[in-house]
Amino acid sequence: MTVVIFIASLCGAMALGMPIAFALLVSGVALMMNQGMVDGRILAQQFIGGADSFPLMAIPFFLLVGELMNAGGISKRIVNFGLALVGHIRGGLGYVAIIAAFIFAGLSGSAVADTAALCSIMVPMMGEIGYDKARSASLIGAAGIIAPIIPPSIPFIVFGAISGVSIMKLFMAGLFPGIILATSLSIIWWYMSRKVEIPVFPRKSYKEILIATKDASWALALPILIMVGIKGGVVTPTEAAVLAVAYTTFLNFVVYREITLKQFFNILAVGAKTTSIIMFLIASAMISAWMIAVANIPSSLTVWLEPFINQPMLLMLFINIVVFVVGTAMDLTPTVLILTPVLLPIITKAGIDPVYFGVVFILNNAIGLLTPPVGTVLNAACGAGKVTMDDLMVKIIPFLLTETVVLILLIIFPELVMIPFQFLWNLGR
């Protein structure tokens, strides 16, 4: 009965047009009424406590890094670096987009921000020399979801804060799947580009490649500094986020000198607005998460999933089908906030490593960013790339299927996540 009340109240509030944050509050209150423990003080305490988390402080800083990166010329230098490496081969700009998306992902951790920034730069450039604009935007959107998978992934921070799983372990475990995603997109792009006659850029000389690398080296160093700092125990993920903001600000004002003080304050305002939306959502979700635990909903679901408990792969397949369906109708962050406290006790009982589950779970939710009707990355690619949604939805299908295949492979072969993770985690210990 409690499961029905939770789902009905949440979906009912959303159907009435309530923002998800308020719908989560409604579902939390509905569960409190069902348990006979309605108390405004408890509600306020859980709401404030939900946002009062040191790991969650990393979110506004990494969001700010993304805004500073997009405004200060860092994006342009990363694109030029990719052009110097692969701009001369067939379909070269597509590979540039994938390389740039991977580097962007290591700077901001936000799929939407990376996609919007890269589409605004790359789609006009690709369109000018003959690439199909909708296909270009769809490739960039598909590459944009690498951001939630590799460090400093904001969804990993959210998942880790809610589940208690080490954020550093999630960062390490997501790195190789992110490389697999980038490689799979490169393969499908090669297959699609092999018979298309499109002009290529002249091959750059070694001197030009060196200059482009030197120009981008400041930006390229940031992901390395973040990972080395966290892995070496020098900083926590939150402290690394603060250092990343300081580093990016230094680049913009001292090295590249491409933003003014007025622009900087505007960037701070945009970052604060985005942060307030996310943190209000998290605080609301914490009320529901607490009531889910109090109402013992995971135990009720465990009874339903009992036939799968001793078959981890089937359980993962079933859960991921559900998550995939939910992801088409709900954005990544709310899905993680709602489903994590429900699913984590179940996968723990089944003996599934929570780090492995976190990587697969976030990847599945990230793929949901490319599916209509919600598809925030899809919308970002559409708007920034100035292409119609109908064209984009058709052109993105090959990339969406490719990433779905990667997801299925990670479910069937957990070793693709765990073996590289264990190697990286033990490295230098």
Is the confidence at residue 255, as pLDDT, over 90?
no
Is the confidence at residue 292, as pLDDT, over 80?
no
User: Tokens 């998800």 map to which residue?
Assistant: 20
Find which of 229-233, 265-269, 290-294, 325-329 is predicted with most confidence, using mean pLDDT. Answer: 265-269
Find which of 162-176, 209-223, 283-297, 302-316 is predicted with most confidence, using mean pLDDT. Answer: 162-176
For residues 167 and 20, the model is more confident at 167
Average pLDDT on 396-407 reads: 94
CA distances from 26 to 37, 103, 333 (A): 14, 40, 18
**92 close to 271: Cβ distance less than 8 angstroms:** no
Segment 319-351, tens digit of pLDDT: 998 888 888 767 788 888 888 888 888 898 889
User: Tokens 């001197």 map to which residue?
Assistant: 207
CA distance 369 to 174: 18
Average pLDDT on 400-417 reads: 95
The confidence band for 409, taking pLDDT boundaries of 50, 70 and 90, is very high
Please work out, in degrees rounded to the nearest 5, the angle formed at the alpha carbon of residue 361 by the alpha carbons of 356 and 367. 130
Is the confidence at residue 249, as pLDDT, over 70?
yes
Segment 307-321, tens digit of pLDDT: 778 888 899 998 998
CA distance 41 to 183: 51
Average pLDDT on 383-405 reads: 88
Percent of the chain with pLDDT over 70: 95
* Least confident span in 47-61, 115-129, 234-248: 47-61
Find which of 22-31, 154-163, 170-179, 213-222 is predicted with most confidence, using mean pLDDT. Answer: 170-179
Contacts of 169 (CB under 8 A, 6+ apart): 355, 421, 425
pLDDT (0 to 100) of residue 72: 67
